[in-house]
């Protein structure tokens, strides 16, 4: 049908599909994250089940349990404030924790005391153990999280252009929430711990007083201690606006992927800005000194969303319309890009 369906696939080391499974219930659906556990896999995201959700562009939070062969075993849909999504799943000994948001739908006026950035623990039978929420019920979200010892550190945004970092116990008790001024409208998108410190990636708005269509952002890494105190930060730009989408550690180095973007004057109109995206990969040390970077310069749009550290480099996931990466300069295709440790691209699949 005309709706995109959430799909879960497993690849081997030769990038051959071992299995794939689509979530076919309802209308449109998507997965944002997947984790492997003893009995299989847990995938989380969102799904639409009725015409009103399609009209409102709203979803229920979606959890699907798969066995080790990619066969769906059980599902759970969650709705709280009207528009709910899950962005990340974290495993714990006796279950798993999902984070995301539940906000009011676009045209709904008011607030919801249970809405905003969301964190829920489930057991492996999909029974809710505890739930916490924080922030504005029109925009707050947790985009990523890590577990360190007895604590969960989550990042996202509280309100428009306010980045958010929060610390909870494994029982869902809030230790602190702190905001950062000013990110872009996504907020903080990724977090990793190296040594005693936490490194958070996103984007920083450098001209906050400008009109929305004229705001400029730069890729951002903020270094925090365990108490949520800012120790340092660094921004990245290359003659264009930029943002970082994912940060990972490679030993004592940090690797981030994201994109630069600029307005395409020829394709833009009086009511719509057409943005030209270019995927970037950048490496830093933990003192936030840049060690290297590379940018894709295809003839279409290139977008980097994720990166995995391998023994000999970095595997980047994203989407592209560039013919140089196997598309036709019009339609998007997903891909894997392999970079070596010096950030030189070896191949794409």
Output DSSP code: residue 274: P
Name the least confident of 20-24, 89-93, 251-255, 260-264. Answer: 260-264
Q: In whole angstroms, what separates CA 292 from the centre of its chain?
A: 23
Confidence of residue 332 (pLDDT cuts 50, 70, 90): confident
Confidence of residue 252 (pLDDT cuts 50, 70, 90): very high
Contacts of 121 (CB under 8 A, 6+ apart): 92, 95, 96, 97, 128, 129, 130, 131, 172
Residues 254, 220: Cα–Cα separation, whole Å: 13
Q: Is the pLDDT of residue 286 over 90?
A: yes
Residues 149, 129: Cα–Cα separation, whole Å: 20
Average pLDDT score over residue span 79-88: 97
Closest by alpha carbon to 139, among 99, 179, 106, 94?
106
Query: Is the backbone peptide bond immediately before 182 cis, with ω within 30 degrees of 0?
Result: yes
Contacts of 18 (CB under 8 A, 6+ apart): 10, 11, 12, 70
Q: Is the pLDDT of residue 333 over 90?
A: no
Task: For 213, list phi and psi in degrees, rounded to 5.
Answer: -70, -15
pLDDT at res. 109 = 77
Closest by alpha carbon to 246, among 134, 347, 169, 146?
146
pLDDT at res. 281 = 97
pLDDT tens digits for 39-77?
999 999 999 999 999 999 999 999 999 999 999 999 999
Q: Is the pLDDT of residue 273 over 80?
A: no
Which helix (H) or strand (E) is 42 found in, with range? Answer: strand 40-47
Handedness of CA 284, 289, 292, 293 (dihedral sign): positive
Output DSSP code: residue 55: H
> What CA dihedral angle connects 150, 154, 158 and 163, to 10 degrees?
120
pLDDT tens digits for 260-271?
988 777 777 877
Q: Is the pLDDT of residue 35 over 80?
A: yes
> What CA dihedral angle connects 232, 281, 143 and 275, to 10 degrees?
110
CB burial of 177-197 (b: ≥16 within 10 Å; e: otherwise) equals: bebbebbbebbbbbbbebeee
Residue whose tokens read 């921004």: 235
Compute the mean pLDDT over every residue in the chain, rounded to the nearest whole number: 93
Using DSSP, state whether 75 is helix, strand or coil.
strand
Q: Is the pLDDT of residue 18 over 90?
A: yes
> Do 243 and 259 contact (CB within 8 A), yes or no?
yes
Beta-carbon-side half-sphere exposure of residue 65 (alpha carbons within 13 Å)? 17
Average pLDDT score over residue span 321-330: 82
pLDDT at res. 36 = 97
Task: For 310, list phi and psi in degrees, rounded to 5.
Answer: -115, 180
Confidence of residue 156 (pLDDT cuts 50, 70, 90): very high
Average pLDDT score over residue span 116-143: 96
Exposed/middle/buried for residue 56 (C-beta within 10 Å: 0-12, 13-18, 19+)? middle
- Kindly state the tokens that stand for 73: 């075993």
The more confident residue out of 315 and 329 is 315
pLDDT at res. 233 = 98
- Kindly state the tokens that stand for 175: 């230790």
Q: Is the pLDDT of residue 98 over 90?
A: yes
Question: What percentage of the chain carries pLDDT values higher than 90?
Answer: 77
Q: What is the maximum span of the chain, computed from C-alpha positions, in angstroms? A: 55
Confidence of residue 1 (pLDDT cuts 50, 70, 90): low
Q: Is the pLDDT of residue 284 over 90?
A: yes
Residues 255, 223: Cα–Cα separation, whole Å: 14
Number of H helices, E strands in the chain: 1, 26
The more confident residue out of 267 and 345 is 345
CA angle 156, 159, 162 (to 5 degrees): 65
pLDDT at res. 111 = 85
């Amino acid at each position: 049908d005309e709706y995109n369906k959430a799909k879960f696939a497993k690849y081997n080391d030769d990038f051959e599909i071992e299995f794939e499974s689509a979530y076919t219930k309802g209308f449109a659906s998507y997965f944002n994250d997947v984790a492997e556990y003893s009995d299989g896999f847990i995938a989380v995201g969102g799904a639409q089940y009725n015409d009103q959700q399609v009209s409102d562009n709203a979803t229920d939070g979606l959890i699907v349990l798969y066995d080790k062969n990619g066969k769906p075993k059980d599902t759970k849909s969650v709705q709280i404030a009207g528009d709910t999504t899950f962005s990340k799943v974290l495993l714990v000994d006796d279950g798993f924790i999902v984070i995301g948001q539940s906000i009011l739908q676009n045209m709904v006026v008011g607030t919801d005391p249970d809405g905003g950035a969301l964190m829920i623990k489930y057991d492996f039978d999909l029974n809710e153990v505890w739930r916490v929420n924080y922030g504005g019920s029109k925009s707050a979200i947790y985009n990523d999280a890590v577990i360190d010892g007895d604590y969960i550190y989550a990042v996202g945004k509280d309100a428009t252009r306010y980045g958010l970092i929060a610390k909870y116990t494994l029982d869902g008790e809030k230790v602190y929430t702190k905001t950062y001024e000013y990110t872009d409208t996504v907020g903080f998108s990724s977090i990793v711990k190296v040594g005693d410190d936490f490194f958070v990636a996103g984007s920083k708005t450098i001209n906050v007083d400008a009109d929305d269509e004229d705001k400029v952002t730069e890729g951002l890494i903020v270094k925090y201690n365990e108490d949520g105190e800012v120790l340092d930060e660094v921004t990245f730009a290359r003659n264009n606006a930029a943002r970082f989408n994912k940060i990972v550690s490679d030993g004592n180095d940090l690797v981030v992927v994201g994109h630069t973007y600029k307005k395409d004057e020829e394709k833009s109109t009086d009511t719509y800005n057409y943005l030209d995206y270019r995927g970037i990969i950048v490496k830093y040390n933990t003192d936030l000194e840049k060690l290297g970077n590379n940018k894709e310069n295809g003839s279409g749009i290139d977008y980097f969303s994720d990166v995995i550290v391998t023994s000999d480099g970095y595997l980047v996931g994203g989407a592209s319309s560039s013919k140089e990466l196997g598309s036709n300069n019009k339609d998007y295709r997903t891909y894997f890009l392999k970079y070596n440790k010096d950030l030189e691209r070896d191949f794409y699949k």
